[in-house]
């Protein structure tokens, strides 16, 4: 679309972003509030962060959640990438519509349904619930997101590159490793990051599928939040937001630097050497 802003456009964008960010900014601000009351500003303090460090249960939950997110995101990335290849490369095969249905449906499926159905499956199978059942559940949910992200990268991929490698004597599997994979890697990494944060974030599915000894951070936060706002929750939220913001920022800076390099390369090419 054309560049050029009108008063209306600028205002709507500004208001929209104010709405999106105000609650987060307020939350971060009040995590440094010395007062226990949310509405009263009692001066700057980091005491809630120190109190958080003393809260062993909270720290345990955080550690479990990180491990869970790491394992499930890694498995989900593997499965999701395979699923994306299936969607893009296998054309029509028996059961394809069932397959793509199973990829798209979890994206919008209410968590309560997914959580309940997985729990009932685990019960029916007689599996002990805990860390691994939540991991399985998260893999199932997040691999579909990975599949969608990797799929969009694969669709844009020039098939001729693979054919060129085959043509030059490179067998198919090696071609996938040395040509396809490096070129879709940004998509795969983005998929992993998405799976990681989705797992980090999930309350409902984890609540259903977890067992004793595997209380995740969202579950812990949820149980405390029901009793109202506490500065300690603000503090841990701020830490989580900071982690994600840093990750996203680094990712976008890397992307930006690549873009700059690409433009430099193009200028170089135009000058003809």
Partner 1 sequence: MAATDTVSPPAKRSGMRWLVVAIPFAWLLIFFLIPFFNVFKISLSTRARALPPYKPVFDLSEGLSGLWSQIQQLSPATYLQLVSDSKYWQAYLSSLQIALISTVLILVVAYPIAYGMARTRAEWRGALVMLVILPFWTSFLIRVYAWIGILGNEGLLNGFLLWTGVIDRPLTILTTNWAVYIGIVYSYLPFMILPLYATLEKMDDTLLEAAADLGCPPIQAFWKITFPLSLPGVIAGCFLVFIPITGEFVIPELLGGSGTMMIGKTLWYEFFNNRNWPLASAVAVVLLLILVVPIVLFQNVLQANEAKK
Partner 2 sequence: MVGPAIGPIRRSFAPWNDPGVKPFIEFRHVTKRFGEFVAVDDLSLQIYEREFFALLGPSGCGKTTLMRMLGGFDEPTDGQVLLDGQDLGGIPPYRRPTNMMFQSYALFPHMSVWDNIAFGLRQDGTPKAEIKARVEEMLALVKLEKFARRKPQQLSGGQRQRVALARSLAKKPKVLLLDEPLGALDKKLREETQFELTDLQMKLGMTFLIVTHDQEEAMTVADRIAVMDQGRIVQVATPAEIYEQPNSRYVADFIGDINILEGHLAPAPPGSTRLECAATGANVEVRQETAAPTGGQAWFAIRPEKVRISLDAPTDPSVNAVRGEVWDIGYLGDVSIYHVRLSTGATLKATITNATRLVERPITWEDKVWLTWSHDAGVILTR
- Residues near partner 2 (CB under 8 A): 158, 160-161, 163-172, 175, 179, 182-183, 262, 265-266, 268-270, 272-273
Residue 21 binds which one of partner 2, partner 1, none, with CB within 5 to 8 A depending on kind? Answer: partner 1
Residue 179 binds which one of partner 2, partner 1, none, with CB within 5 to 8 A depending on kind? Answer: partner 2
CA distance 133 to 46: 37
Q: What is the DSSP string of 56-104?
A: HHHHHHHHHHHHHHHHHHHHHHHHHHHHHHHHHHS-S-TTHHHHHHHHH
- Least CB distance to partner 1 at residue 215 (A): 14
Residue 270 binds which one of partner 2, partner 1, none, with CB within 5 to 8 A depending on kind? Answer: partner 2
- Least CB distance to partner 2 at residue 157 (A): 11
Nearer to partner 2, 36 or 262 (CB): 262
CA distance 221 to 244: 17
Question: What's the DSSP call for residue 40?
Answer: S
Tokens 């991929």 -> residue: 157
CA distance 185 to 221: 34
Nearer to partner 1, 49 or 99 (CB): 99
- Least CB distance to partner 1 at residue 47 (A): 18
Nearer to partner 1, 64 or 240 (CB): 240
Residue 217 in contact with residue 63, Cβ under 8 Å? no
- Least CB distance to partner 2 at residue 37 (A): 56
């Amino acid at each position: 679309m054309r560049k050029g802003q009108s008063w209306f456009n600028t205002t709507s964008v500004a208001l929209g972003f104010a709405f999106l960010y105000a609650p987060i900014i307020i939350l971060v601000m009040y995590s440094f509030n010395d007062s226990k009351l949310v509405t009263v500003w009692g001066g700057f303090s980091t005491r809630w962060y120190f109190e958080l460090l003393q809260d062993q249960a909270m720290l345990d939950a955080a550690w479990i959640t990180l491990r869970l997110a790491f394992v499930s995101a890694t498995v989900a990335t593997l499965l999701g990438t395979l699923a994306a290849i299936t969607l893009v490369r296998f054309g029509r095969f028996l059961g394809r519509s069932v397959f793509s249905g199973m990829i798209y449906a979890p994206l919008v499926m209410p968590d309560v349904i997914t959580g309940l159905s997985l729990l009932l499956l685990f019960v029916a199978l007689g599996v002990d619930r805990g860390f691994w059942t939540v991991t399985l559940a998260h893999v199932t949910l997040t691999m579909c997101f990975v599949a969608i992200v990797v799929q969009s990268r694969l669709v844009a991929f020039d098939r001729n590159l693979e054919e060129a490698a085959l043509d030059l004597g490179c067998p198919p599997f090696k071609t996938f490793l040395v040509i396809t994979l490096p070129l879709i890697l940004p998509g795969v990494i983005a998929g992993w990051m998405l799976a990681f944060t989705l797992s980090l974030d999930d309350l409902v599915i984890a609540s259903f599928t977890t067992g004793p000894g595997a209380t995740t951070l969202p579950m812990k936060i949820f149980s405390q939040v029901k009793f109202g706002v506490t500065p300690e929750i603000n503090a841990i939220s701020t830490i989580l937001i900071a982690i994600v913001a840093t990750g996203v920022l680094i990712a976008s800076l890397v992307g930006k630097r690549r873009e700059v390099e690409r433009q430099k390369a193009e200028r170089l090419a135009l000058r003809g050497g």
